């Protein structure tokens, strides 16, 4: 079969469209927005604070893509739906929706005020639920699209001082599992992926309230947000049900199943000091935003870059698998496998040839 004939028989690979990201004004959300923009996607950002949204939009726009922003609190369903409508009018219906909004409070359970605990739950879990509801409403008419819920490795085993956050992230995982099952039962083409990052160097810790006398810090090992953004992108492209970002998260997930007692002991050994810092830079950057967004823009990174890892071998292997997967197409109608040959002399990009057995 000639390359041109094979190309006609094989559906074209997914092309960049529109992605909407909640919590997109800083940290993982903003970093992920930049990565999608680099790869040609139109990007819609939702967050509470306008200064952060404007700064994030300028940063993403530098990649040469179209960007739109909308202000909304993810705990307010009507406002979130209105924000999504604004972005759809500007960019088109999203084929990917990423729920990335979250916040935290550090302290012993008994020391955390009820209002603060409830707020973490409302944003981190309730905001994910609200985001999924809005995303599904947009995707159901076409019966396709991918929702990515950014969870945390803490969902596999809770950590001291983080009762509200750990509970919310565990709920995000269970919610995603239940929603996936419902969509499968409906025969829907909409996919829901839950991503589990390890500890990440973002402004999250500067914005979290601490009742421990010192600011919070990520527990080792810590990764840069670029690693997490790549993991989110891969999960979105594959539509994976669940994806661990980094070997650390994967090993932690496995260990909680195989040796739960050892993990519980490790959490006890971590104690309180392992999650607190007296670093002057971290102390100076403290600006809790639990109930009110910051009046200034936050960046992608936090103050813990000195010991944050900028790559993950686990993720590198995942990327190679994804590249190999994209090389092959299986034509169900003709029961044949094809290989796409990129940029061969005299061929158009994306041409394919039949694979020989």
CATH 3.40.50.2000 fits 15-327, yes or no: no
**pLDDT for the residue 13:** 34
User: Cα(99)–Cα(134) distance, rounded to whole angstroms?
Assistant: 11
> In this structure, is the dihedral angle defined by the CA atoms of residues 330, 331, 337 and 338, taken in order, positive or negative?
negative
Tokens describing residue 118: 């409830």
User: Cα(295)–Cα(249) distance, rounded to whole angstroms?
Assistant: 34
Residues 6 or more apart in contact with residue 59 via CB below 8 angstroms: 30, 34
Specify whether the CB–CB gap between 183 and 190 falls below 8 A. yes
Residue by residue, DSSP assigns 105-144 as: EES-GGGS-HHHHHHHHIIIIIHHHHHHHHHHHHHTTTTE
Q: What is the dihedral of CA 237, 238, 239, 243, to 10 degrees?
A: -110
Q: Which residues pair with 216 in a beta bridge?
A: 276
What are the boundaries of each domain within the chain?
15-327
**pLDDT for the residue 189:** 96
Per residue of the chain (357 residues), what is the pLDDT tens digit?
A: 333 333 333 223 357 999 999 999 999 999 999 999 999 999 999 999 999 999 999 999 999 999 999 999 999 999 999 999 999 999 999 999 999 999 999 999 999 999 999 999 999 999 999 999 999 999 999 999 999 999 999 999 999 999 999 999 999 999 999 999 999 999 999 999 999 999 999 999 999 999 999 999 999 999 999 999 999 999 999 999 999 998 899 999 999 999 999 999 998 888 888 899 999 999 999 999 999 999 999 999 999 999 899 888 877 777 777 767 666 655 555 655 555 555 444 444 444 444 444
**pLDDT for the residue 76:** 98
> In this structure, is the dihedral angle defined by the CA atoms of residues 228, 73, 130 and 126, taken in order, positive or negative?
positive
Catalytic residues: 165
Residues 6 or more apart in contact with residue 80 via CB below 8 angstroms: 22, 46, 72, 73, 74, 130, 131, 134
114 CB neighbour count, 10 Å cutoff: 7
**pLDDT for the residue 93:** 97
């Amino acid at each position: 079969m000639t390359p041109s004939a094979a190309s006609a028989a094989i559906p074209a690979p997914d092309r960049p469209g529109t992605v909407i990201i909640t919590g997109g004004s800083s940290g993982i959300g903003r970093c992920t927005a930049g990565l999608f923009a680099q790869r040609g996607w139109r990007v819609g950002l939702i967050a509470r604070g306008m200064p952060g949204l404007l700064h994030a939009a300028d940063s993403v726009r530098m990649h040469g893509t179209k960007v739109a922003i909308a202000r909304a609190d993810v705990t307010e369903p009507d406002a979130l739906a209105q924000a999504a409508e604004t972005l759809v009018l500007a960019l088109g219906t999203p084929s990917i929706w990423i729920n990335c909004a979250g916040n935290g409070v550090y302290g012993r359970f008994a020391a955390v005020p009820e209002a603060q605990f409830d707020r973490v739950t409302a944003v981190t879990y309730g905001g994910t639920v609200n985001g999924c509801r809005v995303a599904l409403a947009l995707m159901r008419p076409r019966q396709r699209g991918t929702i990515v819920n950014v969870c945390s490795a803490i969902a596999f085993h809770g950590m001291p001082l983080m009762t509200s956050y750990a509970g919310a992230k565990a709920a995000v995982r269970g919610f995603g599992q239940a929603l996936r099952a419902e969509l499968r039962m409906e025969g829907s083409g909409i996919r829901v992926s839950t991503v589990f990052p390890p500890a990440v160097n973002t402004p999250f810790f500067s914005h979290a309230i601490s009742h421990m006398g010192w600011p919070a810090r990520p527990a080792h090992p810590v990764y840069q947000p670029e690693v997490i953004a790549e993991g989110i992108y891969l999960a979105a492209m594959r539509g994976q049900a669940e994806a661990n970002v980094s070997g650390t998260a994967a090993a932690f997930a496995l260990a909680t199943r195989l040796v739960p007692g050892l993990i519980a002991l490790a959490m006890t050994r971590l104690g309180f000091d392992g999650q607190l810092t007296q670093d002057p830079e971290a102390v100076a950057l403290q600006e809790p935003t639990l109930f009110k967004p910051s009046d200034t823009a936050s960046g992608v990174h936090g103050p813990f870059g000195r010991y944050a890892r900028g790559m993950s071998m686990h993720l590198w292997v995942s990327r190679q698998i994804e590249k190999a997967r994209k090389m092959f197409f299986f034509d169900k109608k003709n029961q044949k496998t094809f290989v796409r040959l990129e940029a061969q002399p005299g061929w158009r990009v994306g041409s394919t040839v039949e694979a020989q057995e």
